[in-house]
Structure 1
């Protein structure tokens, strides 16, 4: 059974592997081998991912039927920056290659958007990859322009996108 849970430290290693695998299975005609290696040459440490995710609002999609050392299998990740300068920025949205094209990214995004609306975050933004751009467009994001990130000497192209969220009525 698949379900969404808040991020927990016990998933940091799985998240690291999920991120690395999701990047490295991208077709070479979408992002080159050099770009993918710059983006993720190997899984990052659990410390890196725990620090990154515990400083934001993060959710995981887990599969209760698969197990990794006594912990359900993490097959998806999304996180939202909640600090002042980056409030509303979607930092990560990744799905394990074995679970792609099953609606997991949409379910995770819906969870994030529902929480952001209830938290009175007025605007979401993202530097979407070539692969995630259609997902964000389908959820009402507006494309601003191409964006470029330098990683280990490679320039990786994406798209700066944003979406205005409805304001919650105060009762």
Structure 2
């Protein structure tokens, strides 16, 4: 499927696969470093980025979750994953493709998938940086929480969106 993100760029959305794993991990690291600076200090970003080292977790994402990849001019511009048809596990957009509507396009497709599975609610645990986006698409904060990664505390938010009113 194709969606337009600007006058001269098209975005293609496709299912992710094992061949995308390395690019997904790079986007994960780079986005945290470049985009989350205003919300998390260097120590927190480094701890968060260390999640890329958990090979088993990333293999489980590719194998067990619904993974969507956004491509722009043959480059992976972002990705989003849905676990158990109701939990948005990962949503990252490449630092060079921010503010172009890619997260919205990915989110819309993930919501459609959740609805296909008759999910009544979508949930996510989101960073301070991602919270405004999730609020914009209809999520509300259930709880602010502190997570510890390698002994470093990070604030994030449990959020939810009711799909069936």
Range class of TM-score, shorter chain: 0.7 to 0.9
Counterparts of 2:35 and 2:151, CA distance in 1: 19
Figure out how many residues of one structure are paired with residues of the other and give that number: 156
Q: Which runs of 5+ in 1 are unaligned?
A: 66-71
CA–CA separation in structure 2 for the residues paired with 1:106 and 1:134: 12
Which protein has the bigger helix share? Answer: 2
Once residues 74 and 44 of structure 1 are traced to their aligned partners in structure 2, the CA distance between those partners, rounded to angstroms, is 20
- Give the C-alpha shift of residue 10 in structure 1: 1.1
- Please say if residues 71 and 78 of structure 2, whose CA atoms lie closer than 8 Å, have aligned partners that are also in contact: yes
Deviation >6 Å, runs of 4+: none
RMSD: 1.9
Matched residue, 2:103: 105
Instruction: State the TM-score, normalized to the length of structure 1.
Output: 0.83
Match of 2:76 in 1: 74
For residue 41 of structure 1, report the CA deviation from its aligned partner: 4.2
Q: TM-score normalized by structure 2?
A: 0.86
Partners of 1:107 and 1:75 in 2: how far apart? Answer: 11
Is the 8 Å Cα contact of residues 35 and 95 (structure 2) preserved in structure 1? no
Gaps of at least 5 residues in structure 2 are: 1-9
